[in-house]
């Protein structure tokens, strides 16, 4: 048995349904493609705006040169200030060294003087006493006087003397010092 050919009307209705379904699918695809295109266009516009903004914010060669000049100026000023400070400190150190040398020379001179004085005192055996004064009573009694060491030194000395009975006064002389 052979199948009967389909009715043309049924066939047309099937084709119409197929075309409607195809039209619906194409419409959805068109909307989706349009939305994607619109998003791509918006992304392109945003990209152009960002590029232009970055170009305006970007440093130019003149900006870099100006910054380099400022940096060089600050560096030169800092170097000069450091050099001035080092020179000032060198001068102060030189002054202090000169003072220390002078004090060392003075100390050496004083030590030599002290040694010389010690040697003189130890070799002579007697100190340099100051004159002592004494008084007596009338024509009968003499008195003894005493003296002290050399002024301005730490070595004390003593001296004794006797006065004459005639004048009631006399001078002391000589004496010894404890160091010698």
How does pLDDT run across 92-110, given as a tens digit for each residue? 999 999 999 999 989 999 9
* pLDDT for residue 18: 92
Distance in angstroms (rounded) separating the CA atoms of residues 175 and 147: 8
The two structure tokens encoding residue 84? 């001035």
How does pLDDT run across 33-67, given as a tens digit for each residue? 999 999 999 999 999 999 998 888 888 888 889 99
To which residue do tokens 């900006």 refer? 63
Count of positions (residues) in the chain:
180
Strands (E), 63-157: 133-135, 144-147
Cα→Cα distances 11→8, 16, 17, Å = 5, 9, 10
How does pLDDT run across 7-38, given as a tens digit for each residue? 888 888 888 999 999 999 999 999 999 999 99
Distance in angstroms (rounded) separating the CA atoms of residues 70 and 67: 5
H/E run at residue 160: strand 158-162
How does pLDDT run across 131-169, given as a tens digit for each residue? 444 444 444 444 454 555 555 555 555 555 555 544 444
Q: Would the pTM of this model clear 0.85, i.e. be above it? A: no
């Amino acid at each position: 048995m052979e199948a009967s050919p389909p009715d043309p009307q049924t066939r047309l209705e099937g084709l119409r349904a197929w075309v409607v379904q195809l039209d619906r699918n194409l419409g959805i695809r068109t909307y989706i493609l349009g939305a994607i295109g619109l998003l791509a266009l918006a992304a392109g516009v945003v990209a152009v705006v960002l590029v232009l903004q970055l170009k305006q914010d970007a440093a130019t060669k003149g900006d870099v040169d100006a910054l380099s000049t400022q940096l060089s100026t600050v560096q030169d000023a800092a170097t000069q200030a450091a050099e001035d400070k080092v020179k000032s400190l060198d001068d102060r150190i030189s002054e202090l060294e000169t003072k220390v040398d002078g004090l060392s020379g003075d100390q050496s001179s004083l030590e030599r003087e002290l040694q010389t004085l010690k040697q003189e005192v130890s070799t002579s055996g007697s100190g340099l006493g100051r004159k002592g004064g004494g008084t007596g009573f009338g024509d009968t009694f003499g008195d003894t006087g005493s003296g002290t060491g050399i002024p301005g030194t730490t070595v004390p000395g003593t001296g004794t003397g006797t006065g004459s009975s005639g004048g009631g006064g006399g001078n002391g002389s000589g004496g010894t010092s404890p160091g010698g």
